[in-house]
Structure 1
Amino acid sequence: MDQKFGDLDPVTFEVLRNTFEYVCRRMTVILQKSSFSPILSENLDFSNAIYDPELRLIGQTANCPVHLAAMHFSVQAVDRKFGIDTLKPGDVVVLNDPYEGGTHLNDVTLTMPVFYDEELIGFAVSRGHWMDLGGGGPGGQGFGTHVAGEGLRLPPMKLYENYEVNADLLEILLRNTRTPHYIKGDLQAHMGALLAAEEELQATAGKYGKDVLLNGMSQMIGYTERIVRAAIEAIPDGTYEGADYADSDGISDDKIWVRLKLTVNGDAIHVDFDGSDPQCAGAINSPYANTAAAIYTALQFFLAPDAPPNAGMFAPISFSLPEDCWLNAKWPAPVVGCTTITSGKVQSAIWQAVAKALPDLAIAPTCADANWFVAAVRGKDGRIDVFSDIPAGGWGGTPYNDGLNVTLDPLGNCTNMPAEAAELLYPIEVEAFDLRSDSGGPGENRGGLGARFRFRFIEGGELSIETSRTLEGSPGVNGGGFSPVQVLVKERPDGVRKVIGGTSEDGSWTSPLLSSHKFGPGESFEFLSTGGGGWGAIRSRDPERVLDDVLDEYITMEAAERDYLVVIDRDTMTVDEAATRRLRS
């Protein structure tokens, strides 16, 4: 064979590429199947990856992108604390500190070195969202002004040594959570994932030799970097601006802005956040690692989504953050909303900048919110439990088709909890989870639809949620329109409804960041998520496609006439071509 990848032949290179991906897939299956908490087993709010001895990402699964692109900062924090030369087989370091490579406190990262013949050959890393680590509200959603109110903050600490758990540290974890019945089982699931990665990497080193394995890791990174740089070179050089905002930080009613300039120069991209708002009082500040993850992930959608996912994706991308900025959070800034609100706004701003650079390939922004809620519920046995879910919205229209309906924001890539599982595990009743008509932004290609999600508290409880898009919906691109706003509603058993987040019928607005909002027995929580923005000129949409949307109840007849200037004959349910021509002329 003439073609070489360094000194690897293409066959060996491809075998190793698939091996690195398989290792992470096996980690994922083990973690999902053996975890105790539904947020891991059902919502899949976790990620797994492997790194080389130089702390560079080598392989990952398509789990939670905002985790994956941030995890190498956690690995670097382990090195800073202990020094990788001091680590031994069976050491596992735990951390969740937002200012040392973490995101919000619920995202707990476990890092284990992997050795073969007493030589370090890499690291296995597993990060998962743990249901509750204390704090002022369920799931840490206290929405105060200090990170201490969000739960237990862990610097890099050895949770395992020689494969034996630190019983004292585990006891601290169990005593600082509303859900101790999940912690130990979830920890064992993470450990199972790490051990699987260790087994697979050692087997690969045994089969091909350490040198081939380590060389393959380096060659894989270079291969991906070349693909990404080639993709960047296809973008016209220039500087492109984008912006988006969170509705509120929960303390002030002021909008909190992301403003950026994306500069393409040859085969490299730089993102400058100068002009973004300062660090805010409320709990939506984003640590450095979280902001970096949002940047990397947002750009990979357009650059090289099919390239082997490794550190080569990061090298061509640089960014600068002001010191005093809500996207560069410093202690003691509260951060619980960083992954579920702020990262989506960073992504949306980047996508809007890319739309100016590549208008024919642009994708309209998504709902840009995970809509993560947590509810403390009390069962008939008196035990307090924590129920959580992430009711999705829609994705934006694309140059080729309408956006996806009810799909979690791409930075999350998790799933909603099945109603059957939720009702089996918790004292609630899921009353609705259906498509929300007229919730996609209009355009030549319409934004995907959001949903109506509703459940009833059987024994009462308290709910916390962090979301946005209640002042404006998702923006469109290339002439596409905004989607409608999101709304949070509380309904009493007698049917009386009250907007508890967003805009009421009288025009008053309430912040959509709720902490420990009380619900009585029989009261229901309803969330109306928004869709994605529209792509392309609204009135360029074919009237027959508008009719199809009306027949599918994706849009109403009123919206067809108001937004698209398409009149539907109510008797025949066909396009009234004469009336449509008059409106469009």
Structure 2
Amino acid sequence: MSSTTNNNVVTTELNPITFEVLRSVFDFASDRMATVLQRSSFSPILADMLDFSNAIYDADLQLLSQAANCPIHLAAMKFSAEAAVNGIGKENIVEGDVLVVNDPYQGGTHINDITFVKPIYHHDHLVGYAVSRGHWMDLGGGAAGGQAFSTHIAAEGLRLPPLKIFSQGKVNQDLLSIILNNSRTPHFIKGDLQAHLGALLAAETEIQRACDRYGRETVTLAMKRIQTYTENMVRASIKDIPDGVYEAEDYADTDGISHDKVKLKVKLTVKDSNITVDFSGTDPICKGAINSPKANTISAALYSLQFFLVPDAPQNQGLFNPIEVILPEGCWLNAQWPAPTIACTTLTSSKITSAIWQALAKAIPHKVTGSTGADANWFVASCVSETGETDVFSDLPAGGWGGTPYADGMSVTMDPLGNCMNMAAETAELFFPIAYEAFELRQDSAGAGQHRGGLGSVFKVRFLGGGAVGMETSRTIEGSPGVAGGLPSVVQRSSHILANGDTHVIGGFNAEGEWKNPLLAAHKFEADEVFMFESTGGGGWGNPHKRPVADVLEDVLDEYISIESAERYYGVVIHPQSLTVDEAATQALRATA
């Protein structure tokens, strides 16, 4: 490199050591954003459940680095950043400004996901942008958390176009007052806003420090080189997939208004080092609130593919350049105003992932897993204390992941759409007037297979002073599909348990075979009543009769599967008294399968 002048290094080359150091700096800066946001936020959905994402973009708004936060946010944030900068106008943005937007039709997902964008300058030169997105507990609407499941976006809360929330470091009090006035949880908002600002400032500090040390030209050159480096890795990985056209379908059980299934269709075309993802043939925009905005759909498609391309590559724009997404106008994966979108992340993106994985299974069955529980199962409730105070409580009772070509699926793990955590019972009970009665593995919930799916869970919450439940879920008609001969998992179900112990199914199939709409909006609970949700496991991988008998017995002893399921799905006969395998009966049963 040449010498340093005025803190800037003039160079046309980048040696490998400096390249690797700056790559690590970019990654560290994003990770530091996540640490600051988690540790300084006020609301449990950010501080404990980690429902947020952070990333840094170069001056051309190309992704430079991102923290390992929510996948469904990360690729979509580029669209929000572009909408914010273009909406305000780059010429109108100065140092110290922070832009905000949550409009689903301007790069957003659902209204609760609010995005903040801060330009990063070095000696008056724009070098990039820090972007932080978080799911805020409540931004108004017709039900707690915006889960009104209505037919118009207005029912889901406050929709912000690109605006300045900070101007030259000073907060916009008028805008902040509007946000506070439109939330059921204003006590969280100022703290969460400051936490996002802290995350943005952390990124700014690290990038400016790198520019001071290595020179702005060297840093900006590294930004472009790292994106090319990742793109080359991804293209090499795509070449390992056989060229061809691979199709699959999945569906949502309902849009909440009609009882008809809502189909999505995907066609993957692999050619040399490129992949085209075509959603032509997908159903039209729905009346109900499961529509997915363009940014959300593209994000889901991109992260679904990256699981099986180069997951360990540096996370930047190079991940996405080899992938083209074709998204027809007027379909439910390309929502337009006023289509409601509240379930787009938690429900719809899961179905996109499942369909893409099923299509990939036809191309690379030796790599692809069975479908996950394929839903975030977003539970949100207004709850009332015994003294009459109200608050909003949320959780994400996870399901299982699909069996893999190498091992069983993970049990009770957040869907691929989010790197989120379940709310700790101790935290929830400290903050809210509720009591956890159960959060345990659900027996027989996984899809059978040579490598079975992971198990789902049984989630029970008692309302101490009453409340109203919103619940977004699917997979209540059919379970999550298996691959390579694996079987699907069981269905999901929501129930209302009265104080006297009587149980009524309020989402999914009841004992009489009657199906109830699983998209719940403000379903009322009295004091001492319990909400129960039974999540599904992942789909199985491979023929269940190829599963080692010893593994089936171990699953029975661990109460992962029942004796009846061992015989029905795996062809393994177990004596109920001794809990030992009847080897002769098992051999005969498997021989006739």
Please report the TM-score for the alignment, with normalisation by the length of structure 2. 0.97
Q: How does 1:523-562 map to 2 (within 5 A)?
A: 523-562=529-568
Aligned to 2:282: 276
CA contact (8 A) 2:386 2:464 kept: no
Aligned to 1:147: 153
Q: Deviations over 1:558-585 (max 9, x none)?
A: 0000101101123332221101011112
Q: How does 1:407-446 map to 2 (within 5 A)?
A: 407-446=413-452
Q: How does 1:84-95 map to 2 (within 5 A)?
A: 84-95=90-101
Aligned to 2:121: 115
Aligned to 2:7: none
Partner Cα distance (2:60, 2:269) in 1: 29
What SS class does the counterpart of residue 302 from structure 2 fall into?
helix
Out of 309, 312, 324, the position equivalent to 2:315 is 309
Aligned to 2:194: 188
Q: 1:78 offset after TM fit, Å? A: 1.7
What SS class does the counterpart of residue 69 from structure 1 fall into?
helix
Out of 77, 88, 105, the position equivalent to 2:83 is 77
Q: Deviations over 1:500-546 (max 9, x none)?
A: 00000000000100000000000000000000000011111111110
CA contact (8 A) 1:6 1:219 kept: no
Does the alignment pair 1:222 with 2:225?
Answer: no
What SS class does the counterpart of residue 465 from structure 1 fall into?
strand
What amino acid does structure 2 have at the position aligned with 1:132?
D
Aligned to 1:237: 243
Out of 459, 467, 490, the position equivalent to 1:453 is 459
Out of 479, 496, 499, the position equivalent to 1:493 is 499
Out of 165, 169, 179, the position equivalent to 1:163 is 169
CA contact (8 A) 1:298 1:347 kept: yes
Partner Cα distance (1:142, 1:33) in 2: 31
Does the alignment pair 1:173 with 2:175?
Answer: no
What SS class does the counterpart of residue 517 from structure 1 fall into?
strand
Does the alignment pair 1:581 with 2:587?
Answer: yes
What amino acid does structure 2 have at the position aligned with 1:364?
G
Does the alignment pair 1:320 with 2:348?
Answer: no
Does the alignment pair 1:15 with 2:21?
Answer: yes
CA contact (8 A) 2:88 2:163 kept: no
What SS class does the counterpart of residue 100 from structure 1 fall into?
coil
Q: 1:412 offset after TM fit, Å? A: 1.0
Partner Cα distance (1:85, 1:159) in 2: 17
Aligned to 1:513: 519
Partner Cα distance (2:251, 2:412) in 1: 22
Q: 1:362 offset after TM fit, Å? A: 1.2
Partner Cα distance (1:12, 1:412) in 2: 33
Partner Cα distance (1:337, 1:411) in 2: 12
What SS class does the counterpart of residue 105 from structure 2 fall into?
helix
What amino acid does structure 2 have at the position aligned with 1:378?
V
Partner Cα distance (2:58, 2:538) in 1: 38
Q: 5+ unaligned residues in a row in structure 1: which ranges?
A: none
Q: 1:550 offset after TM fit, Å? A: 0.5
Out of 397, 405, 409, the position equivalent to 2:411 is 405
Does the alignment pair 1:380 with 2:386?
Answer: yes
Q: Deviations over 1:8-50 (max 9, x none)?
A: 1111111111111111111111111111110000110000000
Aligned to 1:67: 73
What amino acid does structure 2 have at the position aligned with 1:295?
A
What SS class does the counterpart of residue 128 from structure 2 fall into?
strand
Q: Deviations over 1:297-345 (max 9, x none)?
A: 0000000100000000110000111111000000000000000000000
Deviates more, 1:83-92 or 1:316-325: 83-92
Partner Cα distance (1:347, 1:199) in 2: 36
Out of 25, 28, 32, the position equivalent to 1:26 is 32
What SS class does the counterpart of residue 545 from structure 1 fall into?
helix
Partner Cα distance (1:49, 1:6) in 2: 27
Q: 1:382 offset after TM fit, Å? A: 2.2
Q: 1:383 offset after TM fit, Å? A: 2.0
Q: 1:6 offset after TM fit, Å? A: 7.8
What amino acid does structure 1 have at the position aligned with 2:69?
N
Aligned to 1:36: 42
What amino acid does structure 1 have at the position aligned with 2:168?
N
Please report the TM-score for the alignment, with normalisation by the length of structure 1. 0.99
Q: How does 1:278-293 map to 2 (within 5 A)?
A: 278-293=284-299
Partner Cα distance (1:218, 1:344) in 2: 32
Q: 1:359 offset after TM fit, Å? A: 1.0
Does the alignment pair 1:475 with 2:473?
Answer: no
Q: 1:242 offset after TM fit, Å? A: 1.2
Q: 1:188 offset after TM fit, Å? A: 0.5
Q: How does 1:250-399 map to 2 (within 5 A)?
A: 250-399=256-405
Q: 1:82 offset after TM fit, Å? A: 2.2
RMSD: 1.1
Partner Cα distance (1:10, 1:381) in 2: 64
What amino acid does structure 2 have at the position aligned with 1:409?
D
What amino acid does structure 2 have at the position aligned with 1:171?
S
Question: What is the percent sequence identity of the aligned residues?
Answer: 59
CA contact (8 A) 1:221 1:312 kept: yes
What SS class does the counterpart of residue 126 from structure 1 fall into?
strand
Partner Cα distance (2:225, 2:91) in 1: 24
Deviates more, 1:142-151 or 1:10-19: 10-19
What amino acid does structure 1 have at the position aligned with 2:250?
D
Paired residues in the alignment total 582
Q: 1:446 offset after TM fit, Å? A: 0.1
CA contact (8 A) 2:450 2:542 kept: yes
What SS class does the counterpart of residue 79 from structure 2 fall into?
helix
What amino acid does structure 1 have at the position aligned with 2:76?
A
Does the alignment pair 1:568 with 2:569?
Answer: no
